[in-house]
Amino acid sequence: MDREVVVHAEITAPDYRRPSEDTRQPELSSLNQHAQQTFGTFSMRKGEKLDPKDERSLEEAFKAANAYAEDPSGWLVFLGPYGSGKTHLAAAIANYRASAGHAVMFVVVPDLLDHLRATFNPHSTVSYDRRFEEVRTAPLLVLDDLGTQAMTPWVREKLYQLFNHRYNAALPTVITTADSLEEIDPRLRSRLLDRRLCRIHAITAPAFKGTAPKQRKAKR
């Protein structure tokens, strides 16, 4: 081969002749819908005169999210009422990691289950096994709104398989839920209660009803 004549070029684009084998599934992660939810836009709600206990729960959750964004290891769980800031902190972690070039999957639990069901459609271009494996092995998985899914035996089994795999592999996972620990399926709860892997932060502040906060200086 004459190296002065032949130029070697590597094509990294997916093979569109076989779309079912395209490993990229951008529609599965909804992080782009939370682009504005960063650490800089999170409100500590100082002007609301929150109960000191509620204010402290926000501060502790914020610090935990910041630390996790820098070094995502184990599981981080945010408990609390709707509108208390759980999703914002989870999205802030995901956005911070994504901005640093790391792979992140952010998905609302009922939407995730819909994506899995969609693979049973004869016209689906991706298999169920491939889709589920993509979620189970995501380098960083954010599961938002655990507990809002309609519980069926199939849903219960899929969530257990997902939790159990990531638990055994100790894969970084962030979970938000408005349920109390007692309301969570016992098999899932047993994973969340393992303090060797999981850190739980309960946000007790009520739903946020204020104006948009001032932009904080971005994390470096």
pLDDT classification of 3: cutoffs 50, 70, 90: low
Q: What is the 3-state secondary structure (H, E, C) of 25-80?
A: CCCCCCHHHHCCCCCCCCCCCHHHCCCHHHHHHHHHHHHHHHHHHHCCCCEEEEEC
Exposure string of 125-143, with b = 16+ CB inside 10 Å and e = fewer, is ebeeeebbebbbebebbbb
- Ranges of each domain in the chain: 40-202
Structure tokens at 214: 């001032």
How high is the mean pLDDT of the chain?
87
One-letter amino acid for residue 165 of the chain: H
The pLDDT score that the predictor gives to residue 28 is 85
Q: If you classify domain 40-202 with CATH, what class do you get?
A: alpha beta
pTM over 0.75: yes
The pLDDT score that the predictor gives to residue 1 is 52
The pLDDT score that the predictor gives to residue 217 is 46
Mean pLDDT of 25-36: 82
pLDDT classification of 209: cutoffs 50, 70, 90: confident
